[in-house]
Every structure is written in structure tokens, then in C-alpha cells.
Chain A
Amino acid sequence: MALRKPPLREAHAARDAKFTEFGGWDMPVEFDSIRTEHAAVRESVGIFDVSHMSEVEVSGPDATTLMQRLTTNDVTRLDPGDSQYAMITDEEGTILDDTVVYRLPDEEGERYLFIPNAGHDAEMHDRWTAHREERWLDAQVNNVTEEWAMFAVQGPDARDAVAAAADGAADLPKFEARYADVGGVRSWVARTGYTGEDGFEILCPWDEAEAMWNAFVDDHGCTPCGLGARDTLRIEMGFLLSGQDFDPETEPRNPYEAGVGFAVKLDTEFVGRDALEAAYEEGVDEKLVGLKLLDRGVARHGYDVVDEDGHVVGHVTSGTMSPTLNEPIALGYVPVEYADPGTRLRVAVREQEKRAKVVSTPFLED
């Protein structure tokens, strides 16, 4: 199947970006070097093209009911301009996706935009429309993924870059968003991101993407960053990656196992609630933990986690060499009895057992 292309595919190629398939999209993985791009975000400011992320808009008289029913967090807490991290779970409480829900300002009623992971747009659109039909709800559900380009401007200098480019968006509080004029383009600007740094996510019309990207890169000093650096930045924070740290087919997990129970509000009614209430009360058998390798090597997705007696007890879901710490770090599932920080374990790296220990996340101290 042909890969979907972000609006700036050719512009990124002209900057000598390397590309990779990500959720069915042909995305820049690296412009210069992952290490350089990672450092730019930790120390100054970088910009990511995240136009592969999905966007689904939900509006109408029953929009709130529909959102509340299909996400685990409590959307009734959102005022226009607020955002919220949430899980989308099935009847068994298994995570299908994680998402950020924005409540959009709308004089006529409730309107939401939520951001499923790359390649999940059709599935989530179907899930929302099927549920709407089943429950006879009055809501419009639109897959607007290819109407909106999305950029993440991240790093300690992100505020300055957005202040220079955008009219009145740089003062947004964390997790809040508003429409703003960015370089003459009406955009949805949110003080959110997935790197652990201060930053903004900006949605602009697909056709305006190039002008916006060039303004941030050429006029406001943002380093172009690929998804490789986004991955190392998010692992350092212990943030989940869809398809690796959870996946309904290959890594079926509930939010308590994945360490995102904070995004589940059991006092709301949503698909999977009863199963998750039981999981909450009974506790889980396995948990996602941070691991640091004490020997040389890199722990990667799929490698076994072994106890000190040589028994396989778990597996790595994400791993890399942390560019900030210069140490090999990983996320993986282990039985709860091995999940306390300080527990000694091993990771089987190409048939060699490397010493590791459980550490709390984020890996980076504040």
C-alpha cells in the first residue's frame, strides 16, 4: 500500500531529511542527526512535523455524550480551550489508542477535536460513528486528518519562537489552546507536546504548512527535527508509544498496567469502565517500568527481561541510548513483584544478558 505523505514531504526531502514509515505515513526520521536534534529541543528549540497524527472533530448536541462514552477521562471538566490526555479502551479495558482531546470554542454548542495516533484516524472515525448510530446520538464526526498539518515547537526557547511568530498565543497556560494568527495563518495553537519540554503544538491548514514551517525554521531559529529525536525525547520522559508500549494486537494492556491510570475516571461511564474498575480493585499482575542497563549495550523492543536466576519474566517495549544521559534506557513490562525501583534484572541483548535495574520514570530528573 502506498504511504501517505505529509504536506511537506518534498520540502523535507529538499532539506536532505531521511524518511521512515510511521503509521502508514512517509515521515522524516532525521534531518541532521538525532543527537543534534534531541539536544536542540532540550537546550533551545526544535520543530517537528507531526502531520501524520490523526485529527477527528466531533460536534453537535450530543458531542459531549459521545466523547465521554468513548474516552476514559472526564470531558465534562473541559472548558473551551482546555485539553486533556485520555485513553480509548475496548469493553475489556484494553487500550486501543491514547489521545489528546481539545474542546474547541463554539458558540452553537459543544465541539471537540481529538488527536488519535498516526494511522488510527479511519478506525477511530468508524468507532465514533458506529457508537453514534448504536446510541442514536445527534453528533457529527469528521475525519479531518488531511485538512490539518500539525507541528510541534518544543524546547526552553519555544515560547520566544511562538511569541515572534504568533499573535497572542505565547502566553497560553500549559494544556490550554486557542485559535491564533500564526504568520498570517489562522491556526489552532496549544501549549502541549510530547517531549517533556515547554512547547506548543500548532495545527494549520494543510495548504499553509510550508509557509508556517519555513517561518519557524528560517525566521525564528527552530531546528528541524525528525521523529527519531521525538522518540528519544519521549522515552526519556517515560511517555507511551502506540504500537510499542501498548497495542491491542501485539501488546494488549490496560491503563493501570501501562502506568496511565491517572487518565481513567471511574466515576464516568465509558466503554471499558467496568473492566477497569475490576482491574483497579484487584490490582494488575504486570506493570510498565523504567529500566537502565548497567552494562554496555542497547535494550530494544522485544528483548526479554530476565531475573537474576535466568528466568524470563518480562520484555522490553521501547529502548534506546538516552542522548541526554548517555545511558541505555528502556521501558518494559515485568510482574509487579519486580517493579520496585532498585530491583536488579537483566535484559537479553542478542543472547547476552546485560545487567539492568528498575528505575522510576521520567528518566530525566526535573
Chain B
Amino acid sequence: MFEVPEDRKYLESHEYATTDGETATIGISDFAQDELGDVVFVELPAEGDDVTRGEEFGVVESIKAVSDLYAPVSGTVVGVNEELFDRPELVNEDPYGEGWMLEVEVSDADEFDELLSPEEYRDQTE
């Protein structure tokens, strides 16, 4: 069984966002990292860039495949996990913790309502 923490919400394409406060932390789910296999490279936007809900914000590459990353919420990037550039394997090892990708200052908090709840996301991946 894949871990689906209760303290965040999910996009159908397997990205998560935390929902507390004005800043969202974005990454990919445990299910997604397992599907991808060994992550070897992550391409992320820079601080100050804007991301838009449902649109691509970066790329994650595993040994076997390339996958686009989609933003679960819109906003301005205020933090980038630069640790991933040297240690992309953190996405596999700790997707909800050290393997986070972006911090985004959320422009429209209502967008969270459109994301999948942990229960809905769990149903999708089972």
C-alpha cells in the first residue's frame, strides 16, 4: 500500500500540495515515485517564477522515463528544493518530506477545494 498522508491534497496526475496557510509545498506522491522508479534528474522553475494550476511546472526523469510535473495550485515560487539537483533520489526515499519540490505562495486558496482529498486520491490509485 502506498502512503497517502491526510495533511495534504492531490492532483489526478499524482502531485500533492499541503493546504495549510498561504504557502503550499508541492511534490509528487509515494505512488508516483514508485511508478517512476529510480529518479535521476529533476527540472524545476526558479524562485520568482509563476506556476498555474494544471499546467506543467517541471520535469522528473527516472532511469526509464520522463514525466511532466503539473502544478496543483497557482502562485509564485518562493522556494525550490535545490537539494534535489544533487540528490534526486530523495524523491524516491522521502517524497512527502525531504523529496519536496517547490514552495509556492498561493494566489487563490479556493483552488485547494478542487484537488482530490486523501480518500479520493487513495481510491484512484488502488
| Residues A296 and B41 in contact, CB atoms below 8 Å apart | yes
| A 34-50 to B, binary, CB cutoff 8 A, 1 in contact else 0 | 11000000000000000
Q: A33 to B40, Cβ gap below 8 A? A: no
Q: How far is the CA of A232 from the CA of B59 in the complex (A)?
A: 21
Is B38 engaged at the interface, CB distance under 8 Å to the other chain?
yes
Please determine whether A34 and B63 come into contact, CB atoms closer than 8 angstroms. yes
- Do the beta carbons of A298 and B40 come within 8 Å of each other? yes
Given known A-B contacts A35-B38, A296-B85, A321-B40, A232 and B63 have beta carbons under 8 A apart: yes
User: Within 8 Å of chain A (Cβ to Cβ): is B98?
Assistant: no
Q: B59 touching A321 by the CB < 8 A rule? A: no
Contact A321 B41 (CB under 8 A): yes
Please provide the chain B residues from 44 to 60 with a CB less than 8 Å away from any CB of chain A in the complex: 59
Is residue A257 contacting chain B, with contact meaning CB distance below 8 A? no
Inter-subunit contact A298/B37 (CB<8 Å): no
In the complex, what distance in Å separates the CA atom of A231 from the CA atom of B35? Answer: 18
Closest to A321 in B: B40
Asked if A34 contacts B37 (CB within 8 A), the reply is: yes
Considering only residues 9-43 of chain B, those with a C-beta below 8 Å from chain A are 35, 37-38, 40-41, 43
Bound form: Cα–Cα A350–B56 in Å:
13
| Distance in angstroms between the alpha carbons of A12 and B35 in the assembled complex | 17
Q: Are A228 and B37 interface neighbours, CB within 8 A?
A: yes
Q: Which residues of A contact B40 (CB under 8 A)?
A: 298, 321
Q: A231 CA to B37 CA in the complex, in Å? A: 14
Are A300 and B41 in contact, CB atoms less than 8 angstroms apart? Answer: no
A interface vs B, CB < 8 Å?
18, 29-30, 33-35, 228, 231-232, 296-298, 300, 320-321, 323, 328, 350
16 of the cross-chain contacts (CB-CB < 8 Å) are A18-B35, A18-B37, A33-B37, A33-B38, A33-B92, A35-B38, A35-B63, A228-B37, A228-B64, A232-B63, A296-B85, A297-B43, A300-B66, A320-B63, A320-B64, A323-B63
Known: A30-B37, A320-B64, A328-B41. 19 other contacts (CB 8 A): A29-B64, A30-B64, A33-B92, A34-B37, A34-B38, A35-B38, A35-B63, A228-B64, A232-B63, A297-B43, A297-B61, A298-B40, A298-B41, A298-B66, A300-B66, A321-B63, A323-B38, A323-B63, A350-B43
